[in-house]
Amino acid sequence: MTAASAPPVPAEPAPGRGPAGRGPARDVAGLGVGRALGFVAPALLLIGAFLIFPALWTIYIGITNYRLTGVEAVSPSVVGLANYTAALNDALFHNALWLTLLFVLGSAIIGQNVLGFTLAWVMRRTRPVVRRTVEAVVLLAWILPGTVVAYLWVAFYDRDGGTLNALLGTPGTAWLIDYPMACLVVFNTWRGTAFSMMLYSSALQAVPPSQLESARMVGASGWQTLRDVVFPHIRGHVLTNTLLISLWTANDFSPFLLTKGGPNHESETVPVYIYNVALQGGELGYSSAISFLLLIANLLVSLVYLRLLRRRS
Amino acid sequence: MTGAYVVRRIGFYVLICAITLFFAVPMLWIASAPFDSSPGLGVHWPDWTLENFRKTLDHPYAMHSMVNSLLICVTTAVAVTAFAALASYALSRVRIPGRDALLYGLLLLSSVVTGTAAMVPIFVMMFQLGLIDSRFGVALVMTGGLLPAAIFILKDFVDAVPKSYEESARVFGASTGQILRDVVLPVARPGLATIMVWAFVNSWGNFLVPFLLIRSIDKQPGAVLMQTLTDEGGSVNLQVLPVFSLLFSIPVVVLYLLVNSRYGFRFHGGIKS
């Protein structure tokens, strides 16, 4: 339920097993199918109640005019696809979609990817002391609680005493108000880069040193080596990483903590929009329709990701 | 060596320094402001004092919210670990019909259904169950959300536990209960510890679920209280917020270091996000 409930990336899928793990099962403890089902039941019950049921209910609420207050709070009626046609013509929803795209593209697909790869690539050949220091700093950004990181950046961007203004010599600039999306992109890049760095570090270990050596012997430039030797080996990792971090970024609620979506909807990504429409505007039906669209988008990205995992193992 | 080489080395270290500074500088606030007698949102060399800590300890809700976080997250972590352990053992060792489809479905579910995409039905459901403003309710929702990924990670651990241990225990006449308690549980302990820490850290950092479900300030966990501290009376409580951020981060960092040194959970996917 957290944006953090990251799907596990089996670091190295065991040979001959798909992601679904068709390992040989020998019931040596003698549970039997009946008792085994009893072991699985409590977990399935909780998952059913707090994930599957809400997901299905989103679909239903999305076709009603359910509201937080008023008559429709007591007796909502089914309005068919009206919420979806409304979304088609909703300028604020289009705005949220566009901003989410910008957020994902800027901070995940470009920011975290490029910075994470650069760090992994550069750190390969540094002295262990330097490498461990840099990695520790980057990792700290990742392990600190999300809310703490958000306020750390609110302080950093602050108009009156913020570090950024002191560093740039631009006193009085209200970064979060003047450039809200740029602020969010930098913030999310900072926070999430550790994941890409670690993933690419392990991916780069799979590149045969002999190939790098021969690239150096024939006098290939660093860029040529990357493009023709390294990249073909890690293409799968790049795609996996990009899909995962895009998924997390698109569902991230922390823009709310930095800007609440403002000023004037300028940083209102889809998750923040859903919250504002539902809990501020009271339009539960309409926000559920948008939630369902987000679920569908998540599903499509996840299916591609699982297909990739399966092919790799 | 040649000049070009020297220039390249210098450029290389400049790049490393720039990137490190990018990551380090925003963190300086949390390292300096808590100890500063006139804490602001900017970073400067502090005028050392521990007064802010006293203010934070005296704050009517600050330490109390830490207890709320602890209650919620320990409940979540224990429940996730217990239920995921049972499920993953059964799924690993017994050929339940439809098992592979179930695991695939779980993995899909854990990435598709997120708090943001399901916030309305969760809010409405908890409202109708009378679980609004209940810390237990928050723990329940978080447990349900973390379970699919937990089962998945744990099953990997259990798959790696050699079945020969269980077999020899069986040969010596151990009962099912004895095998589970005396053989499987001890061997799976690193996996269980990792999952417990993972669940704890994830629920500790979760903002959205308690923000949606908790109304009264005395039941808010730390993640939500920070939001309250910044909105209180329209201005940020600058004596409490930095100290609180620091204290609130300590459990997560300590747990991470502990598990990392003990079991080296180098990377099992999104240990933390």
Q: Which of A9, A12, A22, A51 to mutate to test the interface with B (most CBs of B within 10 A)?
A: A51
Q: Any bridge partners for residue A78, and if so which?
A: A64
pTM over 0.95: no
pLDDT score, position A18: 40
Query: Per-residue pLDDT tens for B18-51?
Result: 999 999 999 988 888 888 776 666 666 777 778 7
> What's the confidence (pLDDT) of residue B122?
94
> How far is A20 from A306, CA to CA, in rounded Å?
10
CB crowding B184-205: b at 16 or more within 10 Å, else e: beebbeebbbbbbbbbbbbbbb
3-class DSSP assignment, residue A31: coil
Whole-angstrom Cα distance, residue B273 to residue B205? 9
pLDDT in tens, A223-254: 888 888 899 889 889 998 999 999 999 999 99
Are B137 and B124 a contacting pair, CB within 8 Å?
A: no
Q: Is the pLDDT at A42 greater than 70, yes or no?
A: yes
Rounded to whole angstroms, the Cα distance separating A128 from A198 reads: 15
| Model confidence pLDDT, tens digit, residues A132-165 | 889 889 999 998 999 999 999 998 998 887 889 8
Nearest one of A73, A65, A87 to B124, comparing CA atoms: A73
Return mean pLDDT, chain A.
Answer: 87
Q: Answer yes or no: do A11 and B100 touch at CB < 8 A.
A: no
Gap between the Cα atoms of B152 and B146, Å rounded:
10
Residue A7: how many CA atoms within 13 Å on its side-chain side? 29
Chain B nearest-CA residue for A158: B41
- Report the residue of B96, B116, B126, B132 to disrupt the A interface, i.e. the one with the largest count of A CBs within 10 Å: B116
Instruction: Return the structure tokens found at A102.
Output: 């910008």
Write the CB contacts of B261 (distance below 8 Å, at least 6 apart in sequence): none
As a whole number of angstroms, the distance between CA B131 and CA B102 comes to 29
Q: Which of A254, A165, A189, A20 is nearest to B102 (CA)?
A: A20
- B48: which strand partners? B36
- Surface-to-core class of residue B58, CB atoms within 10 Å of its CB (0-12 exposed, 13-18 middle, 19+ buried): exposed
CA angle B126, B272, A47 (to 5 degrees): 35
Establish how many alpha carbons lie within 13 A of residue A192's alpha carbon, considering only the half-sphere containing its beta carbon.
Answer: 33
User: Whose structure tokens read 């040969």?
Assistant: B171
Of B59, B267, B70, give the one whose Cα is nearest residue A10: B267
Closest CB to B248: pick one of A148, A195, A295. Answer: A148
Are the beta carbons of A136 and B214 closer than 8 angstroms?
Answer: no
ipTM: 0.88
pLDDT digits over B255-270, tens only? Answer: 888 887 776 655 444 4
What are φ and ψ of residue B45, in 5° steps?
A: -65, 120
Neighbours of A100 (CB within 10 A): 23
- Interchain pair B269, A251: CB under 8 A: no
